[in-house]
């Protein structure tokens, strides 16, 4: 696969996911499946895949490691550049440090300060920009053009998707009879990667996306059958800063159209409730984006259907995408209903 932005993007396969597992082994953590009890009568067996316990506190390290592992020595010498609201930034910075590569990360204004500080602590140079997709992508592309660095996309690339797909492979390996996997959707890298692996290894299982009502461009896109673009003003309203992307990627859209059961939209109150529930009942620090899968499950359990999606009978896994939340935000959420 050619990392050039001009090259066509072939869809990753289960073989690509398997290769990614080999490349990232020993660096990315193999997070466990932990049983959860919501206290719901007749509810499905429930598990959480806690990527908040991952190196750098989110799943993003998987795709970043796989991407940099695929680069040539010459490309690594020229460095890498990425744009991110925080978790991809930390993933690329950590992967670059692992390979001894210079990393420049474009982080938009308004990103959680903990993510900015962690990125700098990993040795990356941080460049700030306005929080629009155009500014983020434009700034990163300009740096890549001026320095010769390789652009590491946050989600719209087969190497990234295959890296995130290692989560799905681990889920099926640990829970062979899994019936549902619910994962947050932002740009689509996580959900499409999981879907590639899960649907190949266990075709009868379904992968369900979870997205904020206030940033539901993926739901809008899949329902309409074409990629929809939401304005920065719309998507930045949500508490879930990790999924404030304005549109899903082209490759991700193609994969999700074919492999995803649908996207369940989650309200802001439910997102906050999920963060509180994880802290109080599972003893897990989960960022708002990571709470989306629990919020989606609650909607599905409350009715037979939500946004055209129904739970299949059987074990269900909630993917917690990360736990990088500012201490002040977490404290506010935890005391809001105390």
| In contact, 235 and 213? CB cutoff 8 Å | no
d(CA 135, CA 335): 35
Name the DSSP class of 89: H
Q: CA-CA distance, 293 to 301, in Å (whole number)?
A: 12
Domains assigned to the chain: 14-58+157-335 (3.40.50.1100), 61-151 (3.40.50.1100)
Structure tokens at 297: 């499950």
Phi/psi-derived region of residue 225, left when phi > 0, alpha when psi is between -120 and 50, beta in every other case: left
pLDDT in tens, the chain (338 residues): 444 445 567 899 999 999 999 999 999 999 999 999 998 888 899 999 999 999 999 999 999 999 999 999 999 999 999 998 789 999 999 999 999 999 999 998 888 888 889 999 999 999 999 988 789 889 999 999 999 999 999 999 999 999 999 999 999 999 999 999 999 999 999 999 999 999 999 999 999 999 999 999 999 999 999 999 999 899 999 999 999 989 999 999 999 999 999 999 999 999 999 999 999 999 999 999 999 999 999 999 998 889 999 999 999 999 999 999 989 999 999 997 64
Cα dist from 34 to 30, 45, 48, 49, whole Å: 13, 11, 5, 7
**pTM of this structure:** 0.94
Selection from 208, 230, 206, 221 nearest residue 254 by Cα: 221
């Amino acid at each position: 696969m050619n990392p050039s932005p001009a090259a066509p993007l072939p869809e990753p396969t289960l073989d690509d996911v398997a290769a990614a597992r080999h490349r990232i082994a020993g660096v990315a953590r193999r997070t466990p499946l932990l049983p959860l009890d919501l206290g719901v009568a007749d509810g499905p067996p429930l598990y959480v895949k806690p990527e908040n316990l991952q190196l750098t506190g989110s799943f993003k390290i998987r795709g970043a490691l796989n991407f940099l592992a695929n680069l040539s020595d010459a490309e690594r010498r020229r460095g890498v550049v990425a744009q991110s609201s925080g978790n991809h930034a930390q993933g690329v910075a950590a992967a670059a440090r692992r390979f001894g590569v210079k990393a420049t990360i474009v982080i938009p204004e308004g990103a959680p300060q903990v993510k900015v500080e962690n990125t700098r602590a990993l040795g990356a140079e941080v460049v700030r920009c306005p929080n629009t997709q155009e500014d983020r992508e434009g700034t990163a592309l300009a740096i890549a053009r001026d320095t010769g660095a390789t652009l590491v996309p946050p989600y719209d690339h087969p190497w990234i998707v295959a890296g995130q797909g290692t989560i799905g492979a681990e889920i099926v390996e640990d829970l062979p009879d899994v019936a549902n996997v619910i994962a947050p959707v932002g740009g689509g890298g996580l959900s499409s990667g999981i879907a590639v692996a899960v649907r190949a290894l266990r075709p009868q299982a379904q992968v369900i996306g979870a997205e904020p009502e206030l940033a539901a461009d993926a739901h809008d896109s899949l329902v309409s059958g074409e990629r929809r673009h939401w304005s920065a003003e719309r998507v930045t309203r949500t508490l879930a800063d990790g999924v404030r992307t304005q549109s899903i990627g082209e490759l991700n859209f193609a994969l999700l159209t074919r492999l995803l059961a649908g996207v369940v939209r989650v309200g802001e109150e439910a997102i906050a409730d999920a963060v509180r529930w994880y802290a109080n009942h599972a003893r897990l620090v989960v960022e708002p984006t990571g709470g989306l899968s629990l919020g989606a499950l609650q909607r599905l359990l409350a009715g037979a259907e939500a946004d055209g999606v129904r739970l299949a009978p059987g074990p269900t896994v909630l993917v917690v995408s990360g736990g990088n939340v500012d201490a002040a935000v977490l404290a506010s959420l935890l005391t809001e209903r105390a």
